[in-house]
């Protein structure tokens, strides 16, 4: 009985700060909550204020219908499509860069690997807002190194990476790759540490080339951890929001599903909280289904419950 009493405080805090906001958000998605009626006045508020701000009305599935066949449908499907494109482009880039760096940092021919690894995990160590500010300078249309380099190579009118929606979207792919490659690199380094050296020695004796060794020995032996890392980073890309928000939310709110939900809550004229909650609920359900499908298709849990 004592262990139960010991975990009750932690369980209560978990339910309060994690489960309750989710349940309340789902409830809000079935109402017409907006800036005119939400939040409702507290019980001790004057009666005049209570009458001026009546509580939100229950509207059933109206918000969800609006997402798929109403005013919000075109924007939602556009954001959903661009989010999938972002995942399809950024995840291979992150995996490729992270794997390449992981292989280099595991090579016996590279000197000073411990120092280099410390520098390579800087994207993890830096606060996100500091990283975005630094990248905004890198892509600054007037003074950024990227456009300065383009001008040096003869591009007379370099793109505006901040205001132009398409170029800002491309910059998001670059930034996401930079932020996430340390995770892939760490997984690859850890997986390579468990690869038996005898397999490489036998391959070198047989005269195998570097590409054959990578595709027929290294990749099959690190495939499972690499798939796990790919699934995790794909899920993170589906939830991409904060970098786009800090970069230029006005231009990118309809390119990411979470940003689109945020727009309806804090960017639309009447702050449609109910509709925003519905968008984010659908997004959370999609991400959950994606994770379950990815885990099942890749067999990540295969053998986990086998004795």
Q: Each residue of 218-269: pLDDT tens digit?
A: 888 898 899 999 999 999 999 999 999 999 988 899 999 999 999 999 988 8
304 part of a folded domain: no
101 part of a folded domain: yes
109 part of a folded domain: yes
Q: How many domains does the chain have?
A: 1
202 part of a folded domain: yes
Residue 152 maps to which CATH number? 1.10.3720.10
> Would you tell me how many other CB atoms lie within 10 Å of the CB of residue 182?
21
Residue 180: pLDDT over 50? yes
- Residue 129 domain boundaries: 21-298
Report the chain's mean pLDDT, rounded to a whole number.
Answer: 88
> Would you tell me how many other CB atoms lie within 10 Å of the CB of residue 24?
11
pTM, 2 dp: 0.88
In whole angstroms, give the CA distance from residue 221 to residue 184.
15
In whole angstroms, give the CA distance from residue 77 to residue 73.
6
pLDDT in tens, 18-76: 888 889 999 999 999 999 888 888 888 888 877 888 889 999 999 999 999 888 889 99
Instruction: State residue 115 phi and psi, 5-degree precision.
Output: -70, -40
Burial of residue 10 (CB within 10 Å: 0-12, 13-18, 19+) is exposed
């Amino acid at each position: 009985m004592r262990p139960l009493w010991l975990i009750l405080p932690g369980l209560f805090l978990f339910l309060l700060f994690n489960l309750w906001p989710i349940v309340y958000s789902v409830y809000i998605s079935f109402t017409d909550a907006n800036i005119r009626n939400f939040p409702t006045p507290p019980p001790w508020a004057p009666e005049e204020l209570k009458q001026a701000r009546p509580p939100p009305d229950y509207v059933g599935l109206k918000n969800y219908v609006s997402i798929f066949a109403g005013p919000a449908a075109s924007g939602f499907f556009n954001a959903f499509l661009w989010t999938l494109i972002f995942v399809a482009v950024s995840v291979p880039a992150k995996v490729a860069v992270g794997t390449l760096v992981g292989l280099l940092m595991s090579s016996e021919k590279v000197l000073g690997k411990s120092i280099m690894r410390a520098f390579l995990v800087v994207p993890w160590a830096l606060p996100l807002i500091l990283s975005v500010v630094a990248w905004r300078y890198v892509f600054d249309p007037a003074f950024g190194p990227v456009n300065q380099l383009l001008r040096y190579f003869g591009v007379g009118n370099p793109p505006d990476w901040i205001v132009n929606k398409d170029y800002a979207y491309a910059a998001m792919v670059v930034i996401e790759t930079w932020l996430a490659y340390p995770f892939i690199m760490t997984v690859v380094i850890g997986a390579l540490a468990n690869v038996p050296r005898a397999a490489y020695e036998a391959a070198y004796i047989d005269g195998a080339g570097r590409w054959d060794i990578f595709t027929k020995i290294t990749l099959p032996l690190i495939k499972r951890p690499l798939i796990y890392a790919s699934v995790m980073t794909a899920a993170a890309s589906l939830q991409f929001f904060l970098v786009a928000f800090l970069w230029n939310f006005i231009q990118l709110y309809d390119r990411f599903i979470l940003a689109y939900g945020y727009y309806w809550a804090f960017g639309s004229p009447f702050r449609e909280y109910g509709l925003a909650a519905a968008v984010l609920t659908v997004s959370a359900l999609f991400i959950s289904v994606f994770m379950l499908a990815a885990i099942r298709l890749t067999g990540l849990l295969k053998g986990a419950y086998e004795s």
